[in-house]
Amino acid sequence: MADKIRLGLIGASVGGTWSARSHLPAVRASSDFELAAVCTTRADSAEAARQAWGARLAFDDYRRMIVSPEIDAVAVVVRVPSHYTPAKVALEAGKHVYCEWPLGRTTAEAVELAALAKANGLVTAVGLQARVNPVLMHMKELVGERFVGEVMAVHVSLMREGVLTRPSHRTWQRDAELGANTLTIANGHTVDAMRFVVGDFHKLSAVVATQAKEWLDTGTNKWLDVTSPDNVLLSGRLANGAVASVHVGAIPFAGSGYRMEIYGREGTLVVTGEESPQLGEVSLLGAQRGNTLAAMPVPERLSRVSSATPPGEPLNVGQMYALFAEAIRSGQNRQPTFATAVELHHLIDAISEASATGREVTVG
């Protein structure tokens, strides 16, 4: 393989989208990847993206891009309902794949993709970027080193504003069947960050609710019916015996942001931020017996991005690309893979079951 891994990105754009805000700036700054090709659904927008981001090639058909001998790996950065098919085509073509979360619209799609990647011996990454946030990586290390001792209680919350309106290009998310909502995305990222640091639920109870049953389409000024949930409330016991609670909500105004609190027999760790650790920068606080919470430094060794990577959303995506490249070159997977995604899909299924039945469920 050449010095840089040649990447083809499906879902490129000039501005406004997740790919333009995070993936494309991260790849442009990467010392591991070359943006060999971009792909959109139209030739003119693909060419505009090529020029904007410095790609060598532009495609309006992802199948043609995937089979190109100029491509070593593929990034799938499109709407959730469209993740499955291009990811499958890329795996069948023998290309390594980085796909955004959720991996599929359903658990069955995710299971199929993970099995295909394993059968073909390919490296995968899934966009659960909180797992590669240096702050959470350090928090996990500290828990493993028993900074807090025996973990006794965990509380996580993410309250983000914006539940009442949507621009026209995002109103499709009101349909729960399309797989892109607070349960799958905001809750998925949040509960997975907790799983990464302290381990999974063993048993849980849940409330999955749609509190705002209509959205105002700001483009048409029309009210639209909503089936997608906007609040997820979990409580239960983790596999390590700790009790845990999680509340993820899309609320009307003045969201309080993100907080993960870990309480142990010997100390406490807390991560806070205006955004979740998947999206933005967060801060780590810690204290052991007899001390108050104080800021804790994060080792520089945990940051893998180049100095050219812009701050904010590109940082954790850049971390993922660095670890994805390491896995392609060495076979050492330190990034979340499609198998990680399947575990989370199953957990979300368990959350849905617990809410629908009103009963505590056993996970896994």
pLDDT in tens, 76-91: 999 999 999 999 999 9
**Token pair 């997977």: residue:** 333
Dihedral of alpha carbons 23, 25, 26, 27, sign = positive
How many whole angstroms separate alpha carbon 128 and alpha carbon 206? 22
Those residues whose C-beta lies under 8 Å from the C-beta of residue 170, and which sit 6 or more positions away, are none
Q: Provide the CATH number for the domain formed by 130-304+343-362 in this structure.
A: 3.30.360.10
5-128+318-337: CATH, from 3.40.50.720, 3.40.50.1100, 3.40.640.10, 3.40.50.2000: 3.40.50.720
pLDDT over 60 at 31, yes or no: yes
DSSP track, 180-232: -SIIIIIHHHHHHHHHHHH--EEEEEEEEE----EEEETTTTEEEE--S--EE
What is the predicted pLDDT for the residue at 2? 60
**Token pair 């063993």: residue:** 202
222-225 and 214-217 strand pairing: antiparallel
pLDDT for 101-114, tens place per residue? 999 999 999 999 99
What is the predicted pLDDT for the residue at 100? 98
pLDDT for 112-144, tens place per residue? 999 999 999 999 999 999 999 999 999 999 999
| pLDDT band per the 50, 70, 90 thresholds, residue 335 | very high
Per cent of the chain over pLDDT 70 is 99
pLDDT for 273-301, tens place per residue? 999 999 989 999 999 998 999 999 999 99
* Domain residue extents for the chain: 5-128+318-337, 130-304+343-362
309 in Cβ contact with 318 (< 8 Å): yes
